[in-house]
Chain A
Amino acid sequence: MTDRVPSSPKMSARGVNVSYGGTPAIQDVSIDIDMENVTAFIGPSGCGKSTFLRTLNRMNDTIPSAKVTGDITLDGEDIYSAAMDVVQLRARVGMVFQKPNPFPKSIFENVAYGPRIHGLAASRPDMEAIVERSLKRAGLWDEVKDRLSDSGTALSGGQQQRLCIARAIAVDPEVILMDEPCSALDPIATAKIEELIHELRGRYAIVVVTHNMQQAARVSQRTAFFHLGQLVEYGATDDIFTNPRQERTKDYITGRYG
């Protein structure tokens, strides 16, 4: 997997700190995320990967005790400024969670919900086209095309997760954040999601949090290693795995702790 030459970064964070009720969880993280590459966040449990990921689409706003400082921009625009509408931001920066969380509604409704609230479809055929396209991109279409009105919660875990991905891409985001999207899935479903990440690369800027080193190596071109709330090392995935500059990174990827 080669590191394509990044143009200007899609998102960039500078000096980001996050604390929960005064307890720091992320300290002084600066990172650029570009459109061309899949970025992987790795690090031991509790190091703040999810916390940082959630700052990128302001999901931390929903946690009253969380406090975020520093600058994060999307296409050069400060996402924490008063001028940024958080609802639009979340449509532009989609998110897929660790545990599949489809709405307890039909498969169709799950995918159609985002486009509907943002007014992206002018008519019913329009909406059907969006749903079909999203499910196809998420690699789920063939499995569910005959039962779009079934409940999304009646699908298998792997199918649910792909449904959640379809739901995220239905609003045509620019960035997709995935927080351990495969941790609840079996190897076959995991392979499908990884394949999907490959296919989505280039169309969206993708960030994947993972505990699985092989997965990070397989799907990403750039890797960021977090430890104790700090960004220890960030670079091309090949370099991080074969030739880490930091002792802590090396210890982690060789399984010394984590």
Chain B
Amino acid sequence: MNSARTPTDWKGTAMQARIRRRYRSERAFKLAGLAAVILSAAFLAFLLVTMAWNGAGGFTRTEVALKLDFPAMALPVTPTQLRSPAADLALSGAGLKNAVETAGEGWVSDSAWMKVRDAIKADPSMLGRSQVIWLPASPAVEAEMRGGPDAGLEVHVLQSRGLVRTGFNLDFLTASNSTDPTAAGIWGALKGSLLTMLVTFLIAFPVGVLSAIYLEEYAARNRWTDLIEVSINNLAAVPSIIFGLLGLAVFLGTFSLFGHTIGPLFPRSAAVVGGLTLALMIMPVIVIASRNAIKAVPPSIRDAAYAVGASRVQVVFHHVLPLALPGILTGTIIGMARALGETAPLLLIGMRAFIVTPPEGFTDPSTVLPVQIFLWSDEVSRGFIEKTSAAIIVLLVFLLAMNGLAIYLRNKFETRW
């Protein structure tokens, strides 16, 4: 053991080469990491820019000032009819649609007559005179205004006379789906998404967190809990469309058998069914994230609480949960974001129906943002291309708002050690 060992030559060439290699690999790693970050940032920027570019048109609308000569139309409606609740029916029965179409000469959209109808209802006296009303332009005019092909209508002439204007389309945010792209809005789908997410959160969050607490703090470690753990991990990886089939079978199949008792609570196309289906889907994600967050709470904190005489429930709710909450929220937001963007399972439970009235409650037929995007992207009419991008922007804003809320909450509960 005492044989003289040659002292390490820290300045030798071999050592210097090793040092250079070390620096080189460090630099290479840093560069690769930077490249990865730049690449993903570029993809994100590309997505956002194209969406904003295409979608901006969805938020604006061209309107045309149309002079309507009501006495000449001679609509067969009486003032009494106009004041009655059946005014809509009376006006459409009187051929208002055709009259507006004729007067519009291809300038106004197919749904423009509804605007006229609403204007007449608001002020029946206009039937006795001719009146200028701003009406949504037809897709051809709209396209030409955006630099599209010449609609053959001499749009620029009217424009120079101030009879055509383009402005922010508030209707896009307040209207629901329509076959006419100029009238179609996102509100119905947005509200559907809100209701669906609410159901998903209210079911998945408490159930997921409670399961995680039970499995971590109460359940004995044995074959059964191992089995449950494996099942949960597998469930998290199951494709979403299978959850759609499950929702279809359970909520719409089995529960509808209960007829008048709970059957009506689970109608087809309803936010409650969509929400429950998505809750099933994201529950495993929440359970796994919550369990990991709970596991990460230092045992010394539990010991400290037990040692002053805290009960198990008190240890969990006073110490473990507050410390695990940031992790739990992170898992929840990942799950909720996934649920918000989910389309396939909702198609299966019928949330792809054409729905023109926004849902009033959880059991009303509704659709959600990603399904609406899917449906619009399938339309051939040019107007819907812009609507699709605009809807994507709305979906992204919703997502950002949800994430922002979660990050705010997480920072609020984050404990500094």
Contacts and interface: CB of A to CB of B under 8 A. Distances in A.
Interface of A: 57, 59, 62, 64, 87-91, 94-95, 97, 99, 101-104, 113-114, 117-118, 151, 153, 164, 167-168, 170-171
Q: 3 closest pairs, A vs B, by CB?
A: A91-B309, A114-B308, A101-B300
A135 to B, nearest CB: 15
A168 B308 contact: yes
A117 B307 contact: no
B304 A102 contact: yes
Contacts of A151: 416
Query: Is the contact region of chain B dominated by helix, strand, or loop, or is it mixed?
Result: helix
B319 A103 contact: yes
Interface stretch (B281-289, B310-318, B361-369): B310-318
B220 A90 contact: no
A3 B318 CA distance: 42
A94 B307 contact: yes
Contact of A62 (B303, B308, B319, B323): B303
Nearest to B310: A117
Interface in B156-193: none
A170 B309 CA distance: 12
B307 A104 contact: no
B308 A167 contact: yes
Contact of B306 (A59, A88, A103): A59
B308 A91 contact: yes
A64 B301 contact: no
B307 A64 contact: no
B410 interface: no
Contacts of A59: 303, 306-307
B323 A113 contact: no
A99 B308 contact: no
A87 B319 contact: no
Given A64-B221, A103-B319, A114 B303 contact: no
Interface string B357-383: 000000000000000000000000000
B300 A90 contact: no
10 contacts: A57-B307, A59-B303, A59-B307, A62-B302, A62-B303, A90-B308, A90-B309, A101-B300, A103-B319, A164-B304
Contacts of B314: 117
Interface string B283-297: 000000000000000
B309 to A, nearest CB: 4
Most chain B beta-carbon contacts within 10 A, residue among A59, A64, A102, A113: A113
Given A90-B309, A168-B308, A97 B300 contact: yes
Contacts of B258: none
A114 B305 CA distance: 8
B301 A114 contact: no
A73 B303 CA distance: 22
Contacts of A62: 302-303, 306
Given A64-B220, A113-B318, A97 B307 contact: yes
A90 B318 contact: no
A94 B308 contact: yes
Interface in B53-90: none
A62 B306 CA distance: 9
B364 to A, nearest CB: 46
A118 B308 CA distance: 9
Nearest to B319: A103
Contact of A168 (B298, B303, B307, B311): B307
A88 B310 CA distance: 9
Nearest to A99: B300
B309 A117 contact: yes
Nearest to B415: A104
Contacts of B309: 87-91, 114, 117-118, 171
Nearest to A90: B309
Contact of B304 (A87, A91, A101, A170): A101
B417 interface: yes
Contacts of B302: 62
A118 B307 CA distance: 13
Contact of A103 (B220, B221, B304, B416): B304
Contacts of A102: 304
Contacts of A113: 305, 308, 310, 318
Contacts of A95: 303, 307
Nearest to B304: A101
A104 B305 CA distance: 12
Nearest to A171: B308
Contacts of A57: 307
B80 to A, nearest CB: 71
Contact of A104 (B221, B306, B308, B416): B416
Nearest to B311: A87
Given A59-B303, A97-B307, 12 more contacts: A59-B306, A59-B307, A88-B309, A89-B309, A91-B309, A95-B303, A113-B310, A114-B308, A167-B304, A167-B308, A170-B308, A171-B308
B311 A103 contact: no
B417 A104 contact: yes
A90 B307 contact: yes
B319 to A, nearest CB: 7
A251 B314 CA distance: 46
A87 B307 contact: no
Nearest to A113: B308
Interface in B40-54: none
Contacts of B304: 97, 101-103, 164, 167
Interface string B397-417: 000000000000000000111
Nearest to A57: B307
Nearest to A164: B304
A101 B298 CA distance: 10
